[in-house]
Structure 1
Amino acid sequence: MTANSACQRQHDARVNGITKTDTPAAIHGPTPRALPDICFELRAKIDAFLEEQPDDGVLRNVQRQVRVSMDVIQESLRRYGADHLSLSYNGGKDCLVLLILILACLPSCAPPSSPSPDNPPPPTIVSPRRPLQAIYIVSSDPFSEVEDFVAASAEQYHLDLKRYALPMRPALEAYLEDTPIIKAIFLGTRRTDPHGEFLTHFDPTDQGWPQFMRVHPVIDWHYVEIWAFIRHLQIPFCELYNRGFTSLGGVTDTRPNPALALGGDTSKFHPAYELRDDDEERLGRD
């Protein structure tokens, strides 16, 4: 089975990663579900995915990527503690995958309260204590669809989201001034992104920038792997991706990807997840 054929069958059954028989209200409900319930459900879903034995090579690669990324996230939790970590979140596909993986890592195993060397009880599962902190650096001319998706997903996943309509450096300066407890920020940067070529999983910020540790759990994921994860796990995503946008910026510098134009018609486009080549991902960005 090819990745394209699998994606096509999934597209027939889903819109935005949601089955067509479901409605947003049925999925999100009138009020968000409790954060521990969401985290435990995501962890169970990812654990089940990792136990699958897919015939599709892309999904096997995704399984390997998920294991590496979760190891990086868990190492971050050990180094800094959940209270000192934040996520850079703008509703895009990469940080969406990262958000799901972080939430799945928040339930943690704690040692038993009264360990016995002879017959130790199993560790207990500790629920996340508080929402994940996050920063949203808003484009100077954001799409309404992006704004709506960020607001809806932040509510759904209980993000403690602070919004800054500033350029990146002053936005980070303001965020760290407002939230000085933050020591490290998760970023959805990938190797093929601008300035991503030489990044590692852990990189301190450059001189002259606000000082914190940049954590890149999905740095080595490929474009098709990001979409395979989102669609296989049926994660709702921003509507613009269904219209041929492959990289989300602002209204004035982002357009549908010309590589996805339907038969040369520049008014109709394949959805973003049908793109195959990493090098073509940003063709819709100026």
Structure 2
Amino acid sequence: MEIDKAMRESDDQRLKTMYNNAINVIQRALSLYKFEEVAFSFNGGKDSTVLLHLLRAGYFLHIEKPEYPNDNPANCNVKCPIRTIYFETPSTFPEINSFTHETATTYGLQMETIRLDFKSGLEALLKEKPTKAIFLGTRIGDPNAVGQEQFSPSSPGWPPFMRVNPILDWSYRDVWAFILTCKIQYCSLYDKGYTSIGSIYDTVPNSFLCTNDSSSNKDYFKPAYLLADGRLERAGRAKRYSPLASEGGPVASNGPNSVESHQNSTLTASVITVGDEIL
């Protein structure tokens, strides 16, 4: 399995520790709940993308550790047929939509696209098919991470389920180290200076990645993985004019992990933010 192989061969001891801890959380969840009782909230953001590949590795290691084809772990193209939830809104970046759907197809995700607000969509989803636990890409420092642990029950007033946060203690540096070490494909917006992606109304490239090309005397943005200080991750989150807001409605959130969690959304204060928080 290429993810596990890449991590076992890595010299980054911190990343190895973070990886092993996340895999332990995933395997614990898969031991506590039946596979059909768990779901994955995917939104196309970097954190959610990291979690997808951790789930692939965790699922592979959980299913009785099958033999690698020809003794080469990299030849084992593991898909993870986990029930996947994607909250899509009119304010989602087209690049995020495209990447999310393409990734779901590539890795055989059983993805359900929901075009409702998160709470209503979640209630309908759980009524249709009972789900006891949802894997989320929440990290410490996210607006919705306060008080959460690796296993955290949903908040009062929301449908009951367990929030499973395998990368809760991962830093910005850890996320990009994992992506680059495992050579994982990610949304193209991150190569254009976006470091924290929300909706099209509150997200711009991170100014700390702006530089000048001396030959053309034009400014351009370096890719997200070159941001030296992870504390500046959300520096590109700026409010823009929203036609939805001008009509009296809030900009919709994109699900339990909101590509990166809408700070001013009432959803953020409740359970999980999925929508315009891609991180």
TM normalised by structure 2 equals 0.75
Match of residue 280 from structure 1 = 232
Match of 1:237 among 186, 193, 203: 186
Structure 2 CA distance, aligned partners of 1:280 and 1:174?
Answer: 37
Match of residue 7 from structure 1 = none
Look up the equivalent residue of 2:231 and give its one-letter code. Answer: D
Match of residue 101 from structure 1 = 54
| SS of equivalent residue, structure 2 residue 183 | coil
| SS of equivalent residue, structure 1 residue 135 | strand
Match of residue 73 from structure 1 = 26
Structure 2 CA distance, aligned partners of 1:214 and 1:226?
Answer: 20
Shift of 1:87: 0.5
Match of residue 86 from structure 2 = 136
Name structure 1 gaps, 5 residues minimum.
1-40, 112-122
- Larger radius of gyration, structure 1 or 2? 1
Match of residue 4 from structure 2 = 46
Q: Figure out how many residues of one structure are paired with residues of the other and give that number.
A: 227
Structure 2 CA distance, aligned partners of 1:216 and 1:231?
Answer: 21
Shift of 1:51: 4.2
- Moved beyond 3 Å, runs of 4+: 108-111, 127-130, 263-267
Cα deviation, 1:17-76, whole Å, max 9, x if unaligned, reads xxxxxxxxxxxxxxxxxxxxxxxx23xx42442244x2xxxx321111000000000000
Shift of 1:110: 6.8
Look up the equivalent residue of 2:192 and give its one-letter code. Answer: R
2:146 corresponds to 1:194: no
Match of residue 248 from structure 2 = none
Q: Which moved more, 1:187-196 or 1:255-264?
A: 255-264
Structure 2 CA distance, aligned partners of 1:266 and 1:213?
Answer: 49
Shift of 1:252: 1.3
Name structure 2 gaps, 5 residues minimum.
68-75, 239-279
Structure 2 CA distance, aligned partners of 1:183 and 1:191?
Answer: 23
Q: Which moved more, 1:165-174 or 1:83-92?
A: 165-174
| SS of equivalent residue, structure 1 residue 106 | helix
Identity %: 37
Shift of 1:282: 1.1
Higher helix proportion, which one?
A: 1
Residues 229, 75 of structure 1: alpha-carbon distance in 2 compared, 3 angstrom cutoff: same
